[in-house]
């Protein structure tokens, strides 16, 4: 059973919900004057976060929002990314105000690559990450909006997996490795 491998709960569903609402307000404010933005959701980890976030931006009176998806994978071991980031699915982002929606910034390699690709076409690029492991950063990249800073532990839940497991948890927890 999945729960046996959970070590510690980090953020409850309520805490996440509250923070995502706040992020919606921050984002709505940052884009005031902008008519439309495009959320570019990085699959699979950010799927749940993006579903809540897009509604939070709407409720906060933010800009109209389109939603697009990309799939990023990096070849490396299971718990850290190698830097060889592969990006699949390339929506047309020409002239758009793109908000990249990511689950976790770790080494920063995935987001750095993603931002470079998006910046080639988009009118503007910003990043929102639900979680930020700041101390793990290996390349220079920062999210414009961050849900929570977390310590260097492997986390799951609320869309985030370990070997495809635990995405369904409504909370975020640390797993035993
Ligand atoms: P980065 O390129 O090293 O910043 O890796 C970021 C990606 O690694 C995230 O989008 C996640 O997919 C994955 N990742 C990093 N830390 C964790 C974790 O604690 N749990 C699950 N996936 C993680
Ligand atoms: Mg990811």
This prediction's pTM: 0.93
Ordered structural domains, the chain, with CATH = 13-152 (3.40.50.2020)
Question: Mean pLDDT across the stretch 138-154?
Answer: 95
Say which ligand is closest to the CA of 44: 2
Label residue 39 by pLDDT band (50, 70, 90): very high
Walk across the sheet containing 6-11 and list its strands. 6-11, 172-175, 155-156
pLDDT recorded at residue 80? 56
Say which ligand is closest to the CA of 104: 1
pLDDT of residue 2 exceeding 80, the answer is no
Residue nearest to atom 17 of ligand 1 (CA): 154
Question: Mean pLDDT across the stretch 156-171?
Answer: 96
pLDDT recorded at residue 165? 94
Catalytic residue among 106, 132, 142, 168: 106
- Is any atom of ligand 1 closer than 6 Å to the C-beta of 93? no
Given ligand 1 and candidates 11, 104, 154, 156, which is best to mutate, with the most ligand atoms within 8 Å of its CB? Answer: 104
pLDDT of residue 147 exceeding 90, the answer is yes
pLDDT digits (tens, 9 = 90+) for 44-86: 999 999 999 999 999 999 999 999 999 987 655 555 556 677 7
pLDDT recorded at residue 73? 75
Residue nearest to atom 20 of ligand 1 (CA): 155
pLDDT of residue 3 exceeding 80, the answer is no
SS3 assignment for the chain: CHHHHEEEEEECHHHHHHHHHHHHHHHHHHCCCCCEEEEEEEECCCHHHHHHHHHHHHHCCCCEEEEEEEEEEECCCCCCCCCCEEEECCCCCCCCEEEEEEEEECCCHHHHHHHHHHHCCCCEEEEEEEEECHHHCCCCCCCCEEEEECCCCCEEECCECECCECCCCCCEEEECC
pLDDT recorded at residue 163? 92
Residue 161 annotated in active site: no
Q: How far is the CA of 106 from the centre of ligand 1 (A)?
A: 5
In this structure, the number of other CB atoms found within 10 A of the CB of residue 56 comes to 21
Label residue 152 by pLDDT band (50, 70, 90): very high
Q: How far is the CA of 80 from the centre of ligand 1 (A)?
A: 7
pLDDT digits (tens, 9 = 90+) for 84-139: 777 877 899 999 999 999 999 999 999 999 999 999 999 999 999 999 999 999 99
């Amino acid at each position: 059973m999945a729960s046996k491998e959970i070590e510690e709960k980090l953020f409850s569903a309520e805490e996440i919900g509250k923070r995502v609402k706040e992020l919606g307000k921050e984002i709505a404010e940052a884009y005031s004057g902008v008519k439309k933005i495009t959320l570019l959701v990085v699959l699979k980890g950010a799927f749940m976060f993006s579903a809540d976030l897009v509604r939070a931006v709407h409720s906060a009176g933010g800009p109209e929002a389109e939603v697009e998806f990309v799939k990023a994978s990096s070849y490396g071991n299971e718990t850290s990314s190698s830097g060889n980031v592969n990006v699949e699915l390339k929506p047309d982002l020409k002239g758009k105000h793109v908000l990249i929606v990511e689950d976790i910034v770790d080494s920063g390699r995935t987001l750095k690559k993603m931002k470079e690709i998006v910046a080639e076409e988009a009118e503007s690029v910003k990043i929102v990450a639900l979680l930020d492991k700041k101390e793990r950063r290996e390349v220079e990249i920062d999210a414009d909006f961050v849900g929570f800073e977390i310590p260097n532990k492997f986390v799951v839940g609320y869309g985030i997996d370990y070997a495809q497991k635990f995405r369904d948890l409504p909370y975020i927890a640390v797993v035993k490795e």
